[in-house]
Amino acid sequence: MKKKTVKTTKAKPTAVRGVNVKTSHRAGGASSWSMSIYVYWFIILFFIAATFFILGRSQFSSSSRGGLKNGISEEILMRANDYYNQGKNEILAGNLDAAIADLTSAITTDKNMVSGYILRGEAYMQAGDYRAALNDFNTAIEMDPQNSVAYYDRSLLNTRLEDFNSAMTDINNALATYAANPNDILQMRDLYAKRGQLNLWQKNWEGAIADYTNSLARPEGIVSPSVYAERAEAYTAIGNYTGAVDDYTSAIRVISEQIQGATTIEQKEDLSMRAMNYFEKSAALNLSVGNSAAARSDLESAYQIATSLNDPETVERFQGLLEEMQ
């Protein structure tokens, strides 16, 4: 009995060890395999989450550039645009105080609205508050150094302030920035014409002629008779009387076309007075080069316009000049 007990006792531990060792081997392998699977899936899920995070940030950044800016909601931007459009309409209606109030609201709502500063500066300039206008144009240029409209408007303001050097610098910047970034507000024709005018006032005759010529050569927009007339002044200053007469003739031709499309009596009278003035200047130039017949024809045309305008003093003056030419 003792032997059996001893044998049984020895057998049991052996059997138990064998089973335990075998079971333990399997358990260890399963545990190791399970851990590797968990790590594998953890890595996959991590990269998926990271990918969605990056894509989400990219999409948010893209939508911020497209519809939102600097954390401002679309609703706020729409409200700022409403104020801006109201201000623009008030300027067109001549209600400058109301326009300034609306544009101030637009800027307060969206402090990054460059166009709001520019338009409010225009309203201030029209109202005669040149200091406030200059501050707005300066702010717009600081915010957007490539904005040709801001440079152009500040050039107009500096011209009113008779700071022609600053005005010339601004119009040059307007030309350069517009060439790099064209917009629907300005035209190269007008920019060249403005610089031509500045050159004319500074007695840079050749520069003025070059700018007016470039303006007239542009295909876009409407030709202004003033461009021809002002180039005629520059031609006169350098003694090119034939070129000046040709330009006055072209200016009168443009005016005659514009009169056909004028809708008010005031517009027709203003255009007629300008044509009368150009006829008189052309007459003087023709007379100076000895072309008496052309000079008399010009004066007769000026006389007829003065008569139609019911301007007795001018009619009398032209009558006297015609009599002297007989």
Based on the structure, what is the number of domains in the chain?
1
Per 3-state DSSP, the chain is made up of helix, strand and coil in percentages (nearest 5) of: 85, 0, 15
Contacts 24+ apart (CB under 8 A), 250-258: 250/225, 251/225, 251/226, 251/275, 251/278, 252/225, 252/278, 252/279, 252/282, 254/223, 254/224, 254/225, 254/228, 255/225, 258/225
Q: Does any domain span residue 242?
A: yes
Q: Does any domain span residue 32?
A: no
**pLDDT confidence bin for 3, thresholds 50/70/90:** very low
Percent of the chain residues topping a pLDDT of 90: 73
- Rounded CA-CA distance 204/64 in Å is 49
- Contacts of 286 by beta carbon, 8 Å cutoff, 6+ apart: 245, 292, 294, 295, 298
**Distance of alpha carbon 305 from its chain centroid, rounded?**
40
**Distance of alpha carbon 168 from its chain centroid, rounded?**
18
On whether the CB atoms of residues 262 and 268 are closer than 8 A, the answer is yes
User: Across-strand partners of 69?
Assistant: 72
**Residue 94 corresponds to which tokens in the numbers above?**
């001549």
pLDDT tens profile 119-150 = 999 999 999 999 999 999 999 999 999 999 99
pLDDT tens profile 23-70 = 444 444 444 545 555 545 455 455 545 544 444 444 434 333 344 455
Q: Specify the DSSP class assigned to residue 184.
A: S
**Residue 261 corresponds to which tokens in the numbers above?**
């499309």
Mean pLDDT of 248-258: 97
- Contacts of 185 by beta carbon, 8 Å cutoff, 6+ apart: 149
Q: Does any domain span residue 270?
A: yes
CA 278, 283, 289, 291 dihedral sign is: positive
Q: Does any domain span residue 154?
A: no
Closest to 81 measured CA to CA, from 120, 117, 116, 118: 116
Percent of the chain residues topping a pLDDT of 70: 77
Q: Does any domain span residue 10?
A: no
In which domain, by residue range, is 323 found? 220-326
Closest to 285 measured CA to CA, from 319, 317, 251, 237: 237
DSSP letters for 203-246: T-HHHHHHHHHHHHH--SS---HHHHHHHHHHHHHTT-HHHHHH
pLDDT tens profile 266-303 = 999 999 999 999 999 999 999 999 999 999 999 999 99
Least confident of 27-36, 58-67, 101-110, 202-211: 58-67
SS3 98: helix
Q: Does any domain span residue 190?
A: no
Average pLDDT, the chain: 84
Residue 150 backbone phi and psi in degrees, to 5: -65, -40
Q: Does any domain span residue 312?
A: yes
pLDDT at 5 over 50: no
pLDDT value of position 230: 98
Q: Does any domain span residue 303?
A: yes
pLDDT at 187 over 70: yes
pLDDT value of position 325: 87
pTM: 0.74
- Contacts of 118 by beta carbon, 8 Å cutoff, 6+ apart: 136, 137, 140, 147, 149, 150, 153
**pLDDT confidence bin for 256, thresholds 50/70/90:** very high
Domain of 291, CATH number, reads: 1.25.40.10
pLDDT value of position 55: 43
Give the up-direction half-sphere exposure of residue 297: CA atoms within 13 A in the CB hemisphere. 7
Least confident of 36-45, 164-173, 192-201, 272-281: 36-45
Mean pLDDT of 206-224: 95
pLDDT value of position 25: 42
pLDDT value of position 80: 85
